[in-house]
Amino acid sequence: MDEKLTKAKKVFATLCAALDSIDWHYDKDEDDLTIESGARGDDLPMDVNFKINSERQISILFSKLPYKIEESQRLALALAVAKVNNAMVDGFFDYDITTGNIYFKLTSSFVDCEVSEELFLYMLRLSLAMIDEYNDKFLMLSKGVISITDFLNS
């Protein structure tokens, strides 16, 4: 086994230990180094997935929002996502204007370092907070419940 894969498997074990420490329920694929799970926020369900990329030596948390943006609102959503992303310290919303899909993503490199369980708990908590904060706002904007002006001024 090459050195990068060995390191990635160690990081994956640390990720699983972190989730186990808070009794988080998840499905894991040890061959693909992936975790699939979810959570319920204040209003909408949230996918929570991890991928340990052995080649790039990064941990990725990603979550697809459970709806597509209405075509008529896709430009407005691009502005909203840009505003939100500009204010974030960690993580970002990845918006595909052609499909209307939005993902939240947070990555962390493990090149030349040891990662702790706390890193993964931080990634999880931050991601859940950001997704829960904005998933309903993006949906309301997409449905025309709030205007882009209201969103940008909030």
Contacts of 98 (CB under 8 A, 6+ apart): none
For position 43, what pLDDT does the model report?
Answer: 82
In three-state secondary structure terms, 74 is: helix
Structure tokens at 12: 């994956």
* Residue 114 and residue 88 in contact, taking contact as beta carbons nearer than 8 Å: no
pLDDT per position in the chain (154 positions), as tens? Answer: 699 999 999 999 999 999 999 999 999 999 999 999 999 878 889 999 999 999 999 999 999 999 999 899 999 999 999 999 999 999 999 999 999 999 999 999 999 999 999 999 999 999 999 999 999 999 999 999 999 999 998 8
Q: What is the CA radius of gyration of the chain?
A: 17
Separation of alpha carbons 1 and 77, rounded Å: 45
Q: Which domains does the chain have, with CATH numbers?
A: 3-153 (3.30.1460.10)
- Contact between 103 and 94 under an 8 Å Cβ cutoff? The reply is yes
Instruction: Check residue 22 and give its pLDDT.
Output: 97
pLDDT computed for residue 66 by the predictor: 94
The identity of residue 137, as a single letter, is: K
Alpha carbon distance 96, 21 (integer Å): 35
Q: What is the pLDDT of residue 1?
A: 64
Nearest-5° Cα angle at 40, 28 to 95: 80
Structural contact between residues 45 and 39, judged by C-beta atoms closer than 8 angstroms? yes
